[in-house]
Structure 1
Amino acid sequence: MARLDFPKDFVWGTATASFQIEGAYQEDGRGMSIWDTFCRTPGKVYNGDNGDVACDSYHRYEEDIALLKKLGVKAYRLSIAWPRIFPQGTGEVNEKGLDYYKRVVDGLIAAGIEPCVTLYHWDLPQALQDKGGWANRDTIDAFVNYAEVIFKAFDGKIKQYITFNETWCVSFLSNYIGAHAPGNKDLQLAITVAHHCMVAHGEAVKKFRALGVQGEIGTTHNLYWFEPYSTSPEDIAAAHRNRAYNNEWFMEPTFKGTYPQFMVDWFKMKGAEVPIVPGDMETIAQPIDFIGVNFYSGGFGRYKKNEGLFDCEEVQVGFDKTFMDWNVYADGLYKVLSWVKEEYGDTPIYITENGACYDDELTADNRVHDELRTEYFRKHFIQCHRLIASGVPLKGYFAWSLLDNFEWAEGYKKRFGIVYTNYETLERHPKDSYYFIQDVIKNNGFDV
């Protein structure tokens, strides 16, 4: 039996997002977000579910911190709800909202846990969406103003900031596919939103540097490993387009200040162009201290004319599936992060999300015996170890998610947590996967 040990300074953590866990949607001056609106739009969210209560972490954060401490994590990735700080997106700071996050951050630090904070995890103030949202360049200024308030309020306490979570989801999933708030289906709008979010990221990094804030700043992209089904040039090109949609379209501007030309040409053929203003690309490519990668899946594709946006058909090759119907492709994690290093150099990498959704059941012993999720984590931890052994600068891993929570358009039907949430009583029950991760963290490794 082989032993896999991790570097002493490897950061083990877990993650959540504000809208998915906090609830308290009308308390202490919080404004409405685009997700509050989306949830109230018939047919958009499974079962008409919403985030009004969620896991009630707004009131139960001390209980959640105790779970984190028991788990043994070095860090916890959370997000700040912009509508709690600026109910209208701009204007007067809502001090009660700021105070809530001060209590959370202080509680984490007291428990010996480093807070890693995401500034934007999808809950745009509805008041800004009413003015065009991310399609309006004024939202860039509003975001930088919000970020500055957070930087100043937490300087010295929060050591790691992520500007945006999954810009692909903010743009394409939400404004082209239409599955997430605000639910548009317009390719040009999606490309505009993606560009403006990346400019906002760059401007926030510039503000962070100008203020001399302690700590590190980066961004998180959700990367997907998509391979050609065969060696035919058509399959290779189709699979590359499908992969670049998630990967190169966001990574190349972040690191190189350019968009991949083959994708620019493809989108232009589809009638959409990037609305670049002079100086934008230099802003987007501000040097960052780390890159966050969210990884869940991958697949194989081949050329098929008029199939989707990229003339690419996914071919099922026998992967196991999660309850989200996503392929379990742990080796894809090794491949995609190796690609990141090869293409973009030695910037430190954190896996800021990785996890699996399964149909969990609370048993009579108040436990969830989630063998499939535990095995999912084990397989991906092995790939993390391979990456480190291969010289990829992987510095940490955040399991998604601490709690079962509001799973966006899937409502409360889909569970990703390592802690089971009883949505009727709001009680938390650690699952077997929680105890598996606890053991890995305690020993900083495991046997395979």
Structure 2
Amino acid sequence: MPESLSAPRIPAGLRWSTATSAFQIEGSRTADGRGRSIWDDFVDRQGAVIDGGTAEPACDSYRRTDDDIELLAGLGVDGYRFSIPWVRIQPGGSGPANSVALDHYEKLVDGLLARGVDPEPTLYHWELPSEIEAAGGWLSRDTVSRFADYAAMVADRLADRVSTWYTINEAAMTTLQGYGTGELAPAKQLLFGALPTVHHQLLAHAHAAAALRAAGATRVGITNNHTQVLPAGGSDADLAAAHAYDLVHNRVFSEPLLAGAYPDLEALGLPPMPVQDGDLELIGDSLDFYGVNFYNPTTVAAASGDSPLPFDLLPTPGVPLTGFGWPIMPEALRDFLVDLSERHPNMPPIVIGENGASFPEPGHAVRVQDDDRIAFLSAHIRAVAEAADQGVRVEEYTVWSLMDNFEWADGYTQRFGLVHVDFESGIRTPKASYDWYRDLIRDARTDAEGSAR
């Protein structure tokens, strides 16, 4: 077997999981009193989604909960990271909880526990209620208290059985692509005017974490999308551009959580964050683990022409690409983890909250021999092991995604799943990568039990 397809060396004690998000898999967009989110608004705009697809019925998972639990049980994962959409629990973003929706997620939690899979809910995976966006969205500090109220409602129902919680998923993508460039919902184009959304999301995380712990949660974290930034060249201009991009994609999100302060944005000519007394103390004391979602490095050069930004993003030379066109460089994950841990030696354990790749695959129900995905996952798990050798504490690794799904603005054109989904029939077919991951988890457990004897 080629080395790229073989089982990688495993860090001792690593937990295994896989992930989905509600809007991408559930369907049933109007079932059980569900409200309207910014992503409903986005996909209903003509031309917003590349293939004209909608998230209805997607994988039809809202009605096929038992099928998905069986897939997870067969995979043998320790945990399942899924999201609970705010607009199902509070259809308008405020008011009493929707008990029918809470019943649904209680059934999911109980079903997972019955099959030996730890539920790991995410409270916010981009589905901001439309009414809250109309009132200012993440640009408004009022959204912080709204989110905390919602978190408390979910915790009141589920925290007696759920110990691990993610508050907010990929605040960077909400800020940079949702409010900055308009590529994602809510499709604002504010450029650096989007930066207040960073602080309000981090503060909302901290308030939600407090509500979760008050209800009995013992393991609370956030997950950020991170990238290893590579300067295109050695010139001062390229190095300065790479530093600027590293600040706005990585450090402005991580440093308040891990160092208790924002990086120096004013040195880039940017306004300070809307911080009030006590905010940074609350944010800096909010984590039991730190989630890193990692897909690819980013190559950065000095801005050209009359660009409104101080950097240009370029293709990364000399590496293969995923179906999304993202560069594949596993050592970039290792290097990012090592650098993050060296800069924050007292940080909590790291969880790889998402890692995976899309590749072209048939649309009809079929068994996919996805060796390219197996090679990607194997190499990135090996990169985690190499980081662990250098002292990085990683306690969990999560494959994105359990199944093919609705891939946001790219509709159904990208397939990330361990399980193939025929979106016409809803048929689920485990891919070769599903079997590979199942066997990897089984063998890792066997090795760990042998070492313990």
Q: Is TM (by shorter chain) over 0.5? A: yes
1:309 corresponds in structure 2 to: 309
2:408 corresponds in structure 1 to: 408
1:294 corresponds in structure 2 to: 293
2:350 corresponds in structure 1 to: 349
User: How many angstroms apart in 2 are the aligned matches of 1:96 and 1:445?
Assistant: 38
78, 86, 89: which one pairs with 2:90?
A: 86
91, 103, 109: which one pairs with 2:107?
A: 103
Q: Is the 8 A contact 1:156 1:215 kept in 2?
A: no
Q: Is the 8 A contact 1:135 1:189 kept in 2?
A: no
The question of 1:216 aligning with 2:219 is answered: yes
2:16 corresponds in structure 1 to: 12
User: How many angstroms apart in 2 are the aligned matches of 1:101 and 1:300?
Assistant: 41
What TM-score, normalized by structure 2, do the two folds share?
0.93
1:6-85 aligned within 5 A: 6-7=10-11, 9-85=13-89
Q: Is the 8 A contact 1:239 1:312 kept in 2?
A: no
SS of residue matched to 2:51: helix
SS of residue matched to 2:195: helix
> What one-letter code is carried by the residue in structure 2 that aligns with 1:360?
E
Give the count of matched residue pairs.
441
> What one-letter code is carried by the residue in structure 1 that aligns with 2:298?
G
Q: Is the 8 A contact 1:235 1:302 kept in 2?
A: yes
Q: Is the 8 A contact 1:253 1:281 kept in 2?
A: yes
Q: Which runs of 5+ in 1 are unaligned?
A: none
SS of residue matched to 1:47: coil
SS of residue matched to 2:398: strand
Q: Is the 8 A contact 2:242 2:311 kept in 1?
A: no
Q: Is the 8 A contact 1:46 1:410 kept in 2?
A: yes
2:274 corresponds in structure 1 to: 275
Q: Deviations over 1:387-445 (max 9, x none)?
A: 22222101110100001001000011111111011000001011111111111111018
Instruction: Summarize the Cα distance change of 1:238–1:189 in structure 2 as closer, same or farther, 3 Å threshold.
Output: closer
Q: Which runs of 5+ in 2 are unaligned?
A: 448-453
User: How many angstroms apart in 2 are the aligned matches of 1:247 and 1:373?
Assistant: 26
Instruction: Summarize the Cα distance change of 1:180–1:11 in structure 2 as closer, same or farther, 3 Å threshold.
Output: same
The question of 1:146 aligning with 2:150 is answered: yes
* Bigger shift: residues 311-320 or 162-171: 311-320
User: How many angstroms apart in 2 are the aligned matches of 1:208 and 1:105?
Assistant: 16
Instruction: Summarize the Cα distance change of 1:413–1:267 in structure 2 as closer, same or farther, 3 Å threshold.
Output: farther
1:330 corresponds in structure 2 to: 330
Instruction: Summarize the Cα distance change of 1:363–1:212 in structure 2 as closer, same or farther, 3 Å threshold.
Output: closer
User: How many angstroms apart in 1 are the aligned matches of 2:407 and 2:386?
Assistant: 31
The question of 1:191 aligning with 2:191 is answered: no
Q: Is the 8 A contact 1:3 1:446 kept in 2?
A: no
Instruction: Summarize the Cα distance change of 1:313–1:357 in structure 2 as closer, same or farther, 3 Å threshold.
Output: closer
User: How many angstroms apart in 1 are the aligned matches of 2:238 and 2:130?
Assistant: 42
Instruction: Summarize the Cα distance change of 1:14–1:196 in structure 2 as closer, same or farther, 3 Å threshold.
Output: same
1:337-416 aligned within 5 A: 337-345=337-345, 346-361=347-362, 366-416=366-416
Instruction: Summarize the Cα distance change of 1:123–1:167 in structure 2 as closer, same or farther, 3 Å threshold.
Output: same
Q: Deviations over 1:210-230 (max 9, x none)?
A: x15132101001110012233
Instruction: Summarize the Cα distance change of 1:313–1:56 in structure 2 as closer, same or farther, 3 Å threshold.
Output: closer
2:120 corresponds in structure 1 to: 116
What TM-score, normalized by structure 1, do the two folds share?
0.94
1:245 corresponds in structure 2 to: 248
The question of 1:225 aligning with 2:224 is answered: no
User: How many angstroms apart in 2 are the aligned matches of 1:51 and 1:304?
Assistant: 36
2:425 corresponds in structure 1 to: 425
User: How many angstroms apart in 2 are the aligned matches of 1:276 and 1:62?
Assistant: 44
Q: Deviations over 1:263-318 (max 9, x none)?
A: 333152xxx44222232222222241000000000033332445562234525311
Instruction: Summarize the Cα distance change of 1:308–1:329 in structure 2 as closer, same or farther, 3 Å threshold.
Output: farther
254, 258, 265: which one pairs with 2:257?
A: 254
1:284 corresponds in structure 2 to: 283
Q: What percentage of residue pairs aligned between the two structures are identical?
A: 37
SS of residue matched to 2:295: strand
User: How many angstroms apart in 2 are the aligned matches of 1:334 and 1:446?
Assistant: 26
Moved over 6 A (4+): none
Instruction: Summarize the Cα distance change of 1:141–1:379 in structure 2 as closer, same or farther, 3 Å threshold.
Output: same
> What one-letter code is carried by the residue in structure 1 that aligns with 2:359?
Y
Instruction: Summarize the Cα distance change of 1:355–1:202 in structure 2 as closer, same or farther, 3 Å threshold.
Output: same
1:172 corresponds in structure 2 to: 176
* Bigger shift: residues 339-348 or 244-253: 339-348
SS of residue matched to 1:48: coil
Q: How far apart are 1:361 and its partner, in Å?
A: 2.1
> What one-letter code is carried by the residue in structure 1 that aligns with 2:248?
Y
2:320 corresponds in structure 1 to: 320
SS of residue matched to 2:228: strand
Q: Is the 8 A contact 2:11 2:384 kept in 1?
A: no
Q: Is the 8 A contact 1:249 1:260 kept in 2?
A: yes
Task: Compute the RMSD of aligned alpha carbons.
Answer: 2.0
> What one-letter code is carried by the residue in structure 2 that aligns with 1:198?
L
SS of residue matched to 1:282: helix
User: How many angstroms apart in 2 are the aligned matches of 1:134 and 1:235?
Assistant: 32
Instruction: Summarize the Cα distance change of 1:193–1:376 in structure 2 as closer, same or farther, 3 Å threshold.
Output: same
User: How many angstroms apart in 1 are the aligned matches of 2:316 and 2:257?
Assistant: 32
Instruction: Summarize the Cα distance change of 1:253–1:267 in structure 2 as closer, same or farther, 3 Å threshold.
Output: farther
User: How many angstroms apart in 1 are the aligned matches of 2:108 and 2:12?
Assistant: 27
User: How many angstroms apart in 2 are the aligned matches of 1:108 and 1:179?
Assistant: 34
